[in-house]
Amino acid sequence: MKTLPDNPNIAHLRRQAKDLLAGLRDSEPAASLADAQASLAEQYGFRGWPELKAEVDRRQGGADIADPALVQAISERFGLGANTGAMRSLARPDEMGRRWLLDTASGRWAVRTVDGVYPPTDGEPDVALQRAAAAAGVVLPEPVRSTDGRVVEEIQGNRWRVYRWLHSGPPLSAPVSARITAGVGRILATLHGLALPADRICGWHSMRFTPVGWPELVEKVAATGAGWAPVLAGALDTLEHLDRLSGAEPGRPVYTHNSLIPGNVRLGEHGALVITGWEHAAGQPPGWEIGEALTHWATNPNGGVNVTGARALLDGYREVAGTLPPISFAGAATGLANYVFGQIELAMSTGDGEQVRLVRHLLTHLPNRAAFTTLRHVASG
């Protein structure tokens, strides 16, 4: 489920809906803007556009304000100049940390904590990837080093990174137009063509982080009396299918973005794709990363597959690379299984209503067996 920013902008949501409409029309030529708005609202976990808009109105001005002493310490450590306003949160914490926006006399900065990056890193490998990608034409926010030359700095108990703010639209939402998925394919091929070495495949995509099986988890959640236990039980077949997809033999990994999903891509000037989320960078076989991209970019919220968008992504990749590597959905399935399990554990441990709502939505919108069958057919065609 997508989550709203802390201070959501209805204009950004309208932009997201228009971008989404182009993708809907690849599969449903008669789709209207109202259809796209309804689909977007559903992705955010609301029953329709009016309900989503009401929530946006309710959250206006809801961003958290950082402690001025912390802001001063960050600005001084990274040499950002004199602060000209408060540092405001952009969204609720994600699996890595939290994102913030800071204005200083020398510009606007995207600031974030990276306490949850696993395995912990000093950021140097992904900055090297970003520099190589930028030199090859990939558009991305410029990473900022501290005055001591470090990418990551520990300040007041958290690990912080800073990027120069790059103006762009909101994160994209699938489905998108074939033009955009083709662009994603070209970017993937560009990154893989850099051939930066990786000594291993990212554990997120190569291994389950728990020995607990799905049937056992279903029983465990049911025993707690959680109201969403039947939803988990209803998703059991789909979850077990993810495990069956995970056993494929990997190819040689390259060091790559490792999370090129719609939430990490925005539209910039002249329709350029702006790539964020480089903190996830790690080793993955090119064919696995293509499979993951197809899973996220070409699977519709209703469970269908945007075949036109999927083919465009593969065509974009071929345009740059010449050929496709053997494509596998093993990494996508393993990563998705790890994500689902983590979100379920979080819902069980906190009982937080918003987290429970996210889990309910997640379990009812997983790519199912039919979707993966269609994606495999497209990938092999």
How confident is the model at residue 251, as a pLDDT? 87
Phi/psi of residue 31, nearest 5 degrees: -60, 140
41 in Cβ contact with 34 (< 8 Å) = no
How confident is the model at residue 107, as a pLDDT? 97
Give percent above pLDDT 90 in the chain.
Answer: 91
- For residue 323, the one-letter residue type is T
What the block records as the tokens of 179 is: 């033009």
> What's domain 178-380's superfamily in CATH?
Aminoglycoside phosphotransferase (APH), C-terminal lobe (3.90.1200.10)
226 in Cβ contact with 354 (< 8 Å) = no
Q: Is the CA virtual torsion 11, 13, 16, 18 positive or negative?
A: negative
Q: What is the enclosing helix (H) or strand (E) of 135? A: helix 124-135
- Residue-wise pLDDT for 174-211, tens only, equals 999 999 999 999 999 999 999 999 999 999 999 999 99
- For residue 325, the one-letter residue type is P
Which among 94, 85, 81 has a CA at the least distance from the CA of 66?
Answer: 85
Domain with CATH 3.30.200.20 in the chain: 68-164
pTM: 0.94
Give percent above pLDDT 70 in the chain.
Answer: 100
Residue that is written with structure tokens 């930066």 in the block: 196
End-to-end CA distance of the chain: 31
307 in Cβ contact with 181 (< 8 Å) = no
Does 9 have pLDDT greater than 80?
yes
> What's domain 68-164's superfamily in CATH?
Phosphorylase Kinase; domain 1 (3.30.200.20)
Q: How far are the Cα atoms of 70, 223, 285 from residue 298, in angstroms, in the given order?
A: 41, 36, 20
Domain with CATH 3.90.1200.10 in the chain: 178-380
What the block records as the tokens of 191 is: 């990154």
How confident is the model at residue 5, as a pLDDT? 93
54 in Cβ contact with 366 (< 8 Å) = no
What's the whole-number average pLDDT of the chain?
A: 95
3-state DSSP call for residue 161? strand
Going by DSSP bridges, is the β-strand pair 153-155/282-284 parallel, antiparallel, or unpaired? unpaired
342 in Cβ contact with 334 (< 8 Å) = no
Q: What is the enclosing helix (H) or strand (E) of 284? A: strand 282-284
Q: Which residues pair with 103 in a beta bridge?
A: 108
Does 303 have pLDDT greater than 90?
no
Does 120 have pLDDT greater than 90?
no
- Residue-wise pLDDT for 215-262, tens only, equals 999 999 999 999 999 999 999 999 999 999 987 778 899 999 999 999
How confident is the model at residue 118, as a pLDDT? 77
How far apart (Å, rounded) are the C-alpha atoms in residues 100 and 88?
5
Which among 366, 95, 381, 379 has a CA at the least distance from the CA of 248?
Answer: 379
How confident is the model at residue 117, as a pLDDT? 86
How far apart (Å, rounded) are the C-alpha atoms in residues 188 and 316?
9
How confident is the model at residue 248, as a pLDDT? 72
Burial string for 278-317 (b: 16+ CB within 10 Å, else e) reads bbbbbbbbbbbbbbbbbbbbbbbbeebbbbbbbbbbbebb
* 21 CA to centre of own chain: 20
3-state DSSP call for residue 104? strand
